[in-house]
Structure 1
Amino acid sequence: MGLSGVVRRYKFHLRRRFGRPSEKRVLDVGSGHRPHDDATHLVDLLPEDNSERGKPIQRVGLPLLLATVEALPFKDKMFDYVYASHVLEHTVDPAAACKELMRIARAGYIETPSPFYEQGYNYPNPNRGWSFHRWFVYIGEGDTLTFEPKTSQTIDEFCDCRHGQFIKKVYQSVGDLNRVHRVLPRECNYTVLHWEDKFKFAVKIKQGNQTRC
């Protein structure tokens, strides 16, 4: 599923939950060069620096506040919905970021690259990977949004489980990220969380061999 499919699924979830988006406050955190169509407010950081986004930032006639996801300048539950797509893998403090999303909104959508995608983008050339992504993000036990540090060591460590080792063999045999990700199911490429009221999260410090699944 491409980006258009992601947007359609998000819109469906939003409208099913709240009805007409035009009647609600919707915040897009890290709106970047492609703000969400249903957003009423935008937040981003460093508007003149495009090193961590694909293209120059777009304002599309909406209020744009400069802030970090760890410290959002809004009142509690000010928004009906918050959209945070490909943001949390950049944060310096995942715990603070998650708490802020739950504080300022009643529900939301979170999406990041999956650990497999992060590792695949890095393979086989370590200089190719998203060096500005700080975390592997995945859904852990009990539907917990889980963060593990992404380092020069962990980027090369595929999950020890049979699924992780299978993906590693696929990368080794194909050697082309785009070809691999076109055939993998969406859940292999992206970590996605729809939440209402609150969600569980955990920030792990890696110790010993990689066991991420």
Structure 2
Amino acid sequence: MRLNESLLAFYLNHSDLQSRDFSIVFNQLNVLLSSLYLRIDSSPSFIFSDQLALSLREALFTSLADISPAVIPNLARRTKPVQNTWEYQNHSMKWNFPADHKILDVGSGGWPFSYATHLADRFPNSTTHRTEALKTDHRPFTVTDIESLDFENGAFDFVFCSHVLEHTSNPGKAMRELMRVAASGYIEVPTKMSDVCLNFTHLLDHHKWHGTVQDNTLVLMEWLDDERIPRGNQLFDALQSQYTNPFQSFFEANRSTFFASLHWKDSFEFIVIDKHGKIIDRSP
């Protein structure tokens, strides 16, 4: 990769920091790189290495002492990506299920819950509600709608429902079904902040609701029509970047700000609010 191509790649990787200060940083980086070009005779085979990136960052700190350090990109390569939702739930969260527990993952999609004994999803084929293909394995799989689950009352000890309710037409009906078929469970939905920051608001036929949890009550709110706009992928790209940056650190330290979660036993409370601000459903 040529040096100027590398510079552009780093700039795009840190486009979330674009501002007056960032323009100053970028201009100074150009100056430093221009000087470097003279020393290496603009070799077309020159590689923009990680060590060079870090050296340039140190040079920026020295030459731009009056600029906030947070504005200067951290050009250190990550040793591993930020954990996605599935990795965090399956590898970082602690689960202690008895060996004989029957566990249903409803809306299992392309990332089925590792601890589930049974899988279920409404969409065996492609759908606007996920980007990856459905994944099944040796575990029993049922095609069924979460709003009318094809299982007997109390069929499961535990039901896992992650990033599903925000897609439903009637989430109140879906939540009653979760409580009908299982004795306990786990629910996770995106918050408003999550969908705004990660630019999910403009996707057609995707998220209808965003949520929050207050004690044992899950509150789902419908997106307003004027909120369904593209917001840019700067923060999404920053989160996925192979280079460390402040947004990744903020996300990892505040995951609960992006995803509302509820562990429940026997039952839980819920409130559903439509885009007109009216409570259209709630638990008894």
User: Taking structure 1 as the reference length, what is the TM-score of the superposition?
Assistant: 0.76
1:19 and 1:44 mapped to 2: Cα distance?
A: 24
Q: Which residue of 1 aligns with 2:130?
A: 53
Counterpart of 1:44 (choices 121, 128, 136) is: 121
- In structure 2, stretches of 5+ residues that fail to align are 1-81, 240-246, 278-284
Counterpart of 1:137 (choices 206, 211, 214) is: 211
User: Helix, strand or coil: the match of 2:198?
Assistant: helix
Q: Which residue of 1 aligns with 2:185?
A: 108
Residue-by-residue CA offset, 1:74-128 (whole Å, 9 max, x unaligned) = 11111000001110000110110000000100110111111101112238xx64x
Residue-by-residue CA offset, 1:19-43 (whole Å, 9 max, x unaligned) = 23xx111000001111111111111
| Shift of residue 138, structure 1, vs aligned partner | 1.2
User: Helix, strand or coil: the match of 1:153?
Assistant: helix
2:187 and 2:132 mapped to 1: Cα distance?
A: 21
User: Helix, strand or coil: the match of 1:176?
Assistant: helix
Q: Which residue of 1 aligns with 2:111?
A: 34
2:165 and 2:216 mapped to 1: Cα distance?
A: 17
- In structure 1, stretches of 5+ residues that fail to align are 157-170, 209-213
Counterpart of 1:98 (choices 175, 178, 200) is: 175
Counterpart of 2:262 (choices 186, 193, 205) is: 193
* Greater mean alpha carbon deviation, residues 111-120 or residues 42-51: 42-51
Residue-by-residue CA offset, 1:126-171 (whole Å, 9 max, x unaligned) = 64x465111011114x431011111332447xxxxxxxxxxxxxx9
Q: Which runs of 4+ in 1 moved over 4 A?
A: none
**Structure 2 counterparts to residues 174-185 of structure 1, below 5 A:** 175-179=234-238, 182=248, 183-184=250-251, 185=254
1:39 and 1:6 mapped to 2: Cα distance?
A: 12
Q: Which residue of 1 aligns with 2:163?
A: 86
Q: Considering only CA atoms, is the larger Rg found in Structure 1 or Structure 2?
A: 2
| Shift of residue 196, structure 1, vs aligned partner | 0.6
Q: Is the 8 A contact 2:171 2:272 kept in 1?
A: yes
Equivalent position amino acid for 1:199 in 2: F
Q: Is the 8 A contact 1:28 1:41 kept in 2?
A: yes
1:26 and 1:144 mapped to 2: Cα distance?
A: 22
Cα RMSD, aligned residues only = 2.5
Identical positions, percent: 31
Distance 1:186 1:100, change over 3 A: same
